[in-house]
Amino acid sequence: MNGDVTAIFSLYRSCLRQIRRLPTEYLRQFFRLKVGDDVRVILDPRRQHLHPTKIRRVRKDLRKLEGANAGHAKCFNYVLDLAYGRRGPLRWEILDPLRSEPGAPLPPRIIPAVESSRPPVYSKEMRALLTSDASRTTRALTPAALLNPPILPARADPNSPEAHALGPFSKRREVNIRRRFFQQELQKIMLPLQVVVDDHLGSGDPPSARTDKSSLAQVGIRSVGLQDSGVFEELEALAAVPNKTRHSAKDGAPNDRGPVQGSSPRFSSHLPERFLRRRYQQLLVRTPILVYKPSRTASNKEQVAKGKFQVTLSPHAAKRGTPVHRVASEADLAWIQHAEELQGRTSKQNRK
């Protein structure tokens, strides 16, 4: 047992060494908490059934952290996805409240005698995410597909020719198909980190975007994910290309945004800043913005019913479909140089 505990603490220290090399304080805090929780479960004798799974998870996280700190884009994207809820337990914590609509009337039962046969309820936030291309890994659904899933046979309609020819469709199969479609489509959406309330009054007024919880309570909607924590704002600031003020400073031009840039978050890493910024720009593609536009003609009680959700992407997000490049290390450059030398020798021999 002492040897096992020593190996676990050695694994934990290796993780901490890699965590200290991560480029932002948020990433360092997230993985300290995550690895610490996993190690505490491993050391708990009452949870022996979880020990093999947790040990594999910590070892996998260590490999991904080592790859991310070595400049591997795929490993770095995995680290970002885990920390910002694109995968893992944080994604489930963001998704779970959106799977239901508080206060919405229950749909009628498909099987009259079975209470659990009611079809799934799509919340307003979920409807916006499922029907928008910006928040989908595949093609967006149509509003009609939410009422009648495309995988549901035409025979499910009792007035269809198939139902008249073959008989009524099984109600139990219809319940299972609707539930399966709901679960499958939830896996294909990219979740936001917060809701933004858009208070754009008119064409001549400047747009006003609010994310604090009091503003959400004013318009009668609920918060999502890491609402009002500043995580998404920091993500956008890290992905933004810094203004080129070097030439203006040389020319003696005034720089009004100097104090703002000094207080903006910056990377603290041995990796190239351009590589890191590119990873955060690609992360913004996988992190849509859920915007709520309240109705100006409705009263406070009717704003929730008449307001609408929209899904957009950050202006700092990368374009979809761009290739992901890896930063070449010293060993990679040595191998490339060796291959070029061999290729030069073979071409000379062929000429002779």
Segment 62-73 mean pLDDT: 95
Distance between CA atoms of 9 and 13, rounded to whole angstroms?
Answer: 6
For residue 119, pLDDT over 80 is answered with yes
| Burial environment of residue 1 by CB neighbours within 10 A (0 to 12, 13 to 18, 19 or more) | exposed
pLDDT digits (tens, 9 = 90+) for 271-296: 999 999 999 999 999 999 999 988 76
pLDDT digits (tens, 9 = 90+) for 308-337: 999 999 999 988 654 444 566 677 788 888
Q: Give the pLDDT confidence score for residue 332 in this predicted structure.
A: 78
High-pLDDT (> 90) share of the chain, %: 60
Residue 289, phi then psi, degrees to nearest 5: -110, 120
Distance between CA atoms of 125 and 122, rounded to whole angstroms?
Answer: 8
Q: Give the pLDDT confidence score for residue 309 in this predicted structure.
A: 92
pLDDT digits (tens, 9 = 90+) for 201-211: 555 555 567 88
- Other beta carbons within 10 angstroms of residue 29's beta carbon come to 13
Segment 111-123 mean pLDDT: 92
Distance between CA atoms of 127 and 140, rounded to whole angstroms?
Answer: 10
